[in-house]
């Protein structure tokens, strides 16, 4: 919103942006988004991610990091919640996975195995759930539709 954008500009030392009529209101910022984004990117590159997060949180500008996978699993909250799993896979050994963040008090989620390989369950889904006959499955294999 306009107040948050002004606080961002104050923190970033780019008050000229919120004073510019092209960016003074949310509507005008949306209309001129292609122009504004490179300007904001230039400002953001002047400080570290940590600096921006701390500074913007202090002035109540909603923000959060964009993490790579390593950073995600190093996060204190992710570690505390036990969201990183190692699960057995039938051909790959142990593979990393992510736990469901939702916790049920009376019916906890269990993790028996890693995600299946591509196509691992195709035959059972077609036969059991969709009731595709063996004859049709064979035809699909012959046509190269199924592996």
What's residue 34's pLDDT? 97
Q: Which tokens go with 16? A: 């000229």
Q: Which tokens go with 97? A: 């996975």
Q: How many CB atoms lie within 10 A of CB 8?
A: 21
* Domain ranges across the chain: 2-58, 69-115, 116-147
Cβ atoms of residues 11 and 55 within 8 Å: yes
What's residue 99's pLDDT? 92
Q: Which residues of the chain have pLDDT under 70?
A: none
With residue 15 as reference, give the H or E element that holds it.
helix 15-19
Measure the CA–CA gap between 139 and 143, rounded to whole angstroms: 6
The pTM of the full predicted model, rounded to 2 decimals, is: 0.61
With residue 137 as reference, give the H or E element that holds it.
helix 134-142
What's residue 116's pLDDT? 87
Q: Is 143 helix (H, G, I), strand (E, B) or coil?
A: coil
Cβ atoms of residues 146 and 120 within 8 Å: no
Q: What spatial distance separates the first Cα and last Cα of the chain, rounded to whole Å?
A: 53
What's residue 119's pLDDT? 84
CATH architecture for the domain at 2-58: 2-Layer Sandwich (3.30)
- 99 phi and psi angles, rounded to 5 deg: -75, 155
What's residue 123's pLDDT? 87
What's residue 63's pLDDT? 95
């Amino acid at each position: 919103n306009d107040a948050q954008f002004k606080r961002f500009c104050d923190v970033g030392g780019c008050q000229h942006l919120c004073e510019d009529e092209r960016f003074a209101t949310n509507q005008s910022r949306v209309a001129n988004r292609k122009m504004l984004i490179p300007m904001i990117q230039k400002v953001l590159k002047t400080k570290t991610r940590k600096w921006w997060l701390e500074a913007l949180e202090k002035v109540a500008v909603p923000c959060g990091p964009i993490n790579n996978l390593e950073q995600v699993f190093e996060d204190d909250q992710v570690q505390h919640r036990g969201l990183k799993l190692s699960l057995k896979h039938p051909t790959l050994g142990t593979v990393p996975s992510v736990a469901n963040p939702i916790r049920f008090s009376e019916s906890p989620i269990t993790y028996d195995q890693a995600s299946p390989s591509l196509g691992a369950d195709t035959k059972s889904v077609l036969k059991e759930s969709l009731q595709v006959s063996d004859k049709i499955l064979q035809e699909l294999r012959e046509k190269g539709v199924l592996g």
